[in-house]
Structure 1
Amino acid sequence: MSIIGKKISETRKSKGLTQEELAELSKVNLRTIQRIENNESEPRGKTLILICEVLDINIEDLINSKKIIEDNINSNLVYGFRLASKGKRFLANLVESFIYFITILIPYRIYKTPSLKELLNENSIDFVFAPVLGLIVGAIFYPMFIGNLGHRIFGLKVISSETGDDYKKAEEGAIRELLKGVLSFFLIPIIWILWDDKNQNLYDKLTKTYVVEKNDKGTITY
């Protein structure tokens, strides 16, 4: 329901009026009242004035509230898609990391061979593991999911911040996830996103990408 329709409906009910009574008092067609409250149309001009007079609603405050909400929603839209929230991005990353930890890191820790121990010490293995895994994951998953495994699970995808096109090439995904792996070791991406108005990490900016809601495009609702 739009902010105007919702306000009219709530105020009418709080005053104990039926839609029929509001229509009669305001001299506005009943069907028009119903369409407004069902979000099928939005009152304008004389219709809005008549309804607000009966319900004692300040028109200026109502219009300003609507504008504030629309501006806030539009600020979170890029190329018609809603930006993924910081919270959802964090959960996607957390779940993805947990899956890799269970399926890859634990078996590796248990079954790693002496040759690997000789080739790399423990600290260097930890440092190399994340970027190499990112490189492989990006190359495999981006062409399939337009993002990584966490994005897929939470209904997100990666798009170009310059064109809005899907970020689905293997080499693009590999580079993005490689940077993510390297920077995550220093916790830089986690700190960066907290203050960014587009909910971007540092590797998003370097690869010129946004993470957006995959199926949330175009329509403003309240």
Structure 2
Amino acid sequence: MNSSLGSSIQSIRKHRALSQSQLAEKSGLTLRTIQRIEADETTPRGDSLLRIASALEVSIQELTDSQLEENPGLNASIVWSSLSFIAFPFLGFLIPLIIWLPKRGRYKAVDKTAKTVLNFQATWMLLLILTPFVAGVYLAGVMEDMTTTTNGHNEVSPSKVAGAIKNVALPLLLLSLTNIIATVWNGIRAMKGKQAVYPPAIPFIRK
């Protein structure tokens, strides 16, 4: 069930053990303004909304989300769609983006879920791209160790090459498994109406 912005502010204020007078003082607004906002006689915008959010120590999105409809199915779709990275890495970012953009700002927690998924997938792709470069440096460094001298000729040892390839392939496998596990875990959470929780990622898209 949706609640009004005023009732959401009132609920958070009480949870913070603040009186209306204290919220007015912390936000720099008048007591009458706070009373009117909580009674839904007026709706705070711009600077007023920012001041109230700061005084309550919450984000503006947390306040405004209270007025939006819940759509766990959409949240879950955004998360599950990132599994498309299995077909092609960039799809894990592109498909969730395509699903999210038309619905942006229309449903509760959808923006936060989408940004979390996109930041994780973008970070994952960056690591996937960097891994071959790191692997190239590694192989160049161990190339000398992979050669043996026989009758005055340098020959590459097959067993050592296989070992080097294994060391390069392992990070790629771990990256893929991490993505799959994180997506499945968060897909289940989203279906239950819970917020997505991914490993730390670079905040390419600010929440």
TM-score, normalised relative to structure 1: 0.30
TM-score, normalised relative to structure 2: 0.31
Bigger helix share: 2
